[in-house]
Structure 1
Amino acid sequence: MEMVQMLRENATLLKLGYQFELPGPRMAATGILTRNQDQQRQKRMQERKAEEVVEQKSATSSNQEVPTRKIAEMVKHQEVCNKAQIRKPKTKKLKNGANEKESEDILKDLRNNLKPSVKSRHEASNLPPPQRSGRDDLMAAIRGSSIFSLKRVNLT
């Protein structure tokens, strides 16, 4: 227990190469070492955050050096583009100069061509029925019978 007390006082110790025989001191030492490791990890995380903040400040100061003239030109360009889009009348333009009636005809042709033909349906129905096994016949007979028609069998 004296070693555990020393571990409590020393927050910088991360590993200890000693095996405790009793479970009480062993668990206490493990908890203290885990606490020390967590503290070290938290310190590293705080240092990384501080470095990131410094980097972000330096990056924002370098971004502020953009000339204001370029910004003004970009704003004017966007305003001109927005006005040009507003002035254009909204009309339906179809590819290859086709009008709406022609496009509807094309769509109808496509739909008709994509539907399965009637011949393929009839050909599938002309196939011979699949062969039935003895089990299929038995199951069909059971399904077709009623409870009253079944015979009781004595097990001996």
Structure 2
Amino acid sequence: MPGGSGPLEVGEDTRAKGAPKELAITELEGDFEYFPSNDTIRYPAKRSGGEVIEYDFGPYEHWAEQEAHDAAINAAGNVFSPAISQRNDVWVEAAPWETSMRRDLRVVYLEKVNDEGDVVEEPSIDLQSLIQEVPRTVEVTIKYDGNMDEYIFPVYVYRAEGKHVFGTTREN
């Protein structure tokens, strides 16, 4: 992913510069069961009314990486108040595969523009503050049933623009 030293242009990203964030997941909510004989895990796949109605099985390694990735997305967005997850003009997502072959995280900063391309609304968080305060990496350790796995997710800030259409916004 590119990351220049000048101002961040629309459609570009840069590495976040905040202090790295570390978290450990030692207790999992839900009904999980690990099978060491074939290194798989049973996990809730479907819920209805808060109850598990279907389970699925998968390789432990894939499940642990996804759990870590989800936790990293939440952690990267919780450096502000209100948290990024509670905003509609800034959010954290997985970086697109075409720009990243790893599980990088991307904080999207969305400016709303009119049909002429003029910015009509900016996020309530300053772009430079976002770049400086979002953690540059999120390291997640998962400890479960004798396993310990560590994942490091680089974090980038991406500047986007979207057209303001009838009270909604769509990214260009």
TM-score (norm 1): 0.19
Of structures 1 and 2, the one with the larger relative CO (CA 8 A, separation 6+) is: 2
Instruction: Indicate the structure with greater strand content.
Output: 2
